[in-house]
Each structure stands twice: as structure tokens, then as C-alpha cells.
Amino acid sequence: MFRWVRDRWEALLGSGVMPTATRLPPHPANVPGPFYVEDGCCISCGVWEDVAPDLLAWLEDDDVPHCYVQRQPETDEEFERMMEAMRVGEVDCIRVHACKPDWIERLRKEGLDDQIDPESGPLPRHS
């Protein structure tokens, strides 16, 4: 395993999933909308490539590639693929903030509660 992947994994997760209070802001490359990838969270696992290659993409401008949301899901079929990308990710970097209520309910039924931001408050952004 690449050392930078191991270092990121240890720094981000330590003994488990990061608590909500320490969540990272969205990566600046994400397109506007409810789904986003946290900045600095991606460990370049690429597991989403098989399920949502049209919704997520690689940003390879630095030494370490980083995934981001390149297009928001618009249909139920696209949402299903984004939800699958959230489910298969090795870390919970793909998150959602205030999307359609029926989509939120489906995410909860799939056990993805930890990747749903609280409905109150603005979406965190880079300063």
C-alpha cells in the first residue's frame, strides 16, 4: 500500500469513523448540490468507478488524486448509483446535505445515516 494512503487512513480514521463534529468541508471541485466529497478525506480507493463514473470523477492536480462530485444525480436511477457509491466507499467521504426527502429516507433505510448531514444550517464551504 502506498505510504500516503496509509498515512491518510490513519490520520482520518484513527480508531474509527470520524465523529460528525470533526467532518471536513466539501472539496472545492464538487459541483453545487446536495451530494459532495469531503476535502482531504478521499483515500483514492476508486471503488465508486464501477457504479457511478458519470457522477464522480478524479481530480489529479496534486501528488495525490482526489475524487469529487462532477455531476449531481437528477433521476432515481442516478440517485441509486450515487447511493451505491456511498455504500461501497472505503471511508464515508461521500456525503449528502438537504436533498429530496424521499431520497433521505432511502439513504436511512440503507443504513447510510452517518453520511447524511443535519438538515439545519448551511452546507460547510471552504473559507
| Residues above pLDDT 90, as percent of the chain | 53
Highest mean pLDDT out of 55-69, 71-85, 93-107 = 71-85
pLDDT of the residue at 85: 96
Helices then strands, counting H and E runs in the chain, come out as 3, 4
- Domains of the chain, by residue range, sit at 3-115
CATH architecture of 3-115: 2-Layer Sandwich (3.30)
Band of pLDDT at residue 43, cut at 50, 70 and 90: confident
